[in-house]
Amino acid sequence: MERFSYLLDRLLYAPQRTVKLKLMADYFTHAPDPDRGIALAALAGALDLKSARPALIRQLGMQRVDPELFGWSYDFVGDLAETVALIWPERPTNAAPPRLGEIPDQLASLKTAEAGEQLEHWLDTLDATGRWALLKLVTGGLRVGVSSRLAKTALGDAFGTSADEIEEIWHGLEPPYEALFAWLEGRAPRPDMSDRAVFRPLMLANPLEQLELEKLDLADYAAEWKWDGIRVQLAARGGERRLYSRTGDDISAAFPDIVDSMTFEGVLDGELLVVREGEVAPFNDLQQRLNRKRVTAKMLQKHPAHVRLYDILFDGIQDLRGLGFEERRTRLDAFWDREQPERMDLSELVLFDSVEALEALRAGCRGEQIEGLMLKHRDSVYQAGRPKGPWFKWKRDALTVDTVIMYAQRGHGRRSSFYSDYTFGAWRDGEAGPELVPVGKAYSGFTDEELKKLDKWVRDNTVNRFGPVREVTHSLVVEVAFDSVHRSFRHKSGVAMRFPRFHRIRWDKPSEEADRLESLENLID
């Protein structure tokens, strides 16, 4: 546990990507099994210890110290694991600290109350850094600046292979990944996934700038609409059926209607949407289905899922990724004619004959649940990652409105000391005159220097406290950029923004000149 604690602590304070990669590669090389496999799972977000939820951790902390003191400390620190780790009263014990590789199995065999007793025992054997690492591990919220992809890249660096090769077999393996390490160290053959519905790394597009567009030979590119859904991969092999998100998360349980329609053998690439009577619904409708472990019959009927197919990676067992885009598209057309899977259709290829025609298509797509255009080189093979040149995404220009900051909350990880999460509102007519109503939340779009200024402004302008949330004077205007706005019955304002982010901080603008709710409602598709 000591080596893992050291790793997490170093990763948290190492901003450079190369340093993070070296730290993880060194750990994977020298840590024993199964410790390194559990660490890999934790860093890659593949560890789910259901018996150790944040509520249990909070309860343990308040049992050891005065609840009022704990509440104030948590409010100040802003991170549950860090608060408990720092405030935990150390008690002398002769017990040995836990081994990292043993923790998941031990917790899995315990009920919630028993898990609390075990965690309490382990916390007594560790120092503050060890307690923090243990709690981060069991709650699953590491937040040390490491993505799943970066962890796999470090693993590949450690053993002389690529993250793409690891991705090819990753979803057919489970922690502590002993078969994976055996292969990487040359002690066993590569795990065979030929008959498994595993995730294949997606090919991604680069943003297209106007100057870059003018340099392209457009005759070499095909165009498609960029639909406002989520990118998915459909994998059907050897009787297994899986629906994956773009990051490789298995989302099959949330979309059984799609999985039931996968009566074919192969791997397809597409966009997950909600479609009613042939019309694509706003993204907010799809959002009702996302991140759910189960869905009701009513939800399946009210928000019917649909996949618009872009590409084909495997036709049966035949790997088509080495073919050019046009050849794969021909194979996809043939696949569609042969299989005709329900709840799916083919992405339309958009015809154009000039840059001006493309610009007109992009400008005219707002209001059709379309984010913009995709340009794909006709000869491009399906290459994992984001290669420069073959594929481009040309999104429509963002919408903007002036809003007023209403509430602020501290962030997590390196932002836990700063107020970095903001709720902003627009004006509407209330019973007592003009009033602000929340229309969105954002925590990105500002620089580190602007974050420091915003944090100071929140502290100087707080008028009320609601636990970790601070209500502030309605005096600071922020220009917010967003991709689209939809009706929402979940929000008091009746609207929901898609991808809101800070565009400009209007220190100079009076708050009464911010936009009204009607301005947002007029932008609804």
- Secondary structure of 321-348 in HEC code, one letter for each residue: CCCCHHHHHHHHHHHHHHHCCCCEEECC
pTM of the model: 0.78
Interaxial angle between packed helices 128-139 and 35-43, expressed in degrees from 0 to 180 and rounded to the nearest 10: 70
DSSP assigned state of 250: B
State the Cα–Cα distance between residues 300 and 306, nearest whole angstrom: 11
SS3 category, 305: strand
Radius of gyration, alpha carbons of the chain: 25
Q: Quick: pLDDT tens for 460-516.
A: 999 998 878 899 999 999 999 998 888 887 778 888 888 899 999 999 888 999 999
CATH topology for 206-394? D-amino Acid Aminotransferase; Chain A, domain 1 (3.30.470)
Q: Domain extents for the chain?
A: 206-394, 399-521
Within 10 A of 305 (CB to CB), how many other CB atoms are there? 25
Residue type, 128: A
If pLDDT is split at 50, 70 and 90, which confidence band does 399 have?
A: confident
Is the CATH number of domain 399-521 1.20.1090.10? Answer: no
At 466 the pLDDT is 85
pLDDT value of position 502: 94
pLDDT reported for residue 525: 62
The closest alpha carbon to 161, from 181, 137, 187, belongs to 181
The reported pLDDT for the residue numbered 413 is 67
How far is 44 from 35, CA to CA, in rounded Å?
14
Phi-psi region of 278 (alpha: psi -120 to 50; beta: other; left: phi over 0): left
Q: Is the pLDDT of residue 241 over 80?
A: yes
Tokens of 356: 């001006």
Q: Tell me which amino acid residue 378 is.
A: R
In 3D space, the residue among 372, 348, 363, 468 whose CA is nearest the CA of residue 411 turns out to be 468
Q: Is the pLDDT of residue 42 over 90?
A: yes
Q: Which residue type is seen at 525?
A: D
Grade residue 79 by pLDDT with cuts at 50, 70 and 90.
Answer: confident
How does the average pLDDT of the chain come out, rounded? Answer: 91
Average pLDDT in the 87-109 region? 90
Q: Across residues 30-54, what is the average pLDDT?
A: 90
SS3 state at 366: coil
Kindly indicate the confidence band of residue 278, based on its pLDDT and cuts at 50, 70 and 90.
confident
**Residue whose entry in the numeric block shows the structure tokens 């042969």:** 338
pLDDT of residue 184: 97
Residue 62 near residue 73 (C-beta atoms within 8 A): no
Look at residue 411 in the predicted model and tell me its pLDDT: 83
Phi/psi of residue 134, nearest 5 degrees: -60, -45
**What 3-state DSSP class applies to 410?**
strand
How far is the C-alpha of 281 from the C-alpha of 271, rounded, in Å? 13
% the chain with pLDDT above 70 = 99
Whether 27 shows a pLDDT value over 90: the answer reads yes
pLDDT > 80? residue 76 = no
Q: What is the pLDDT of residue 318?
A: 95
**Residue 126 confidence (pLDDT):** 95
pLDDT at position 210, please? Answer: 76
Q: What is the pLDDT averaged over residues 70-89?
A: 87
HSE on the CB side for 401, CA within 13 Å? 26
The pLDDT confidence band at residue 367, using thresholds 50, 70 and 90, is: low
Q: What is the pLDDT of residues 374-384, one digit of tens each?
A: 999 999 999 98
Tokens 């860093």, located at residue: 43
User: Average pLDDT for residues 16-30, to the nearest whole number?
Assistant: 95
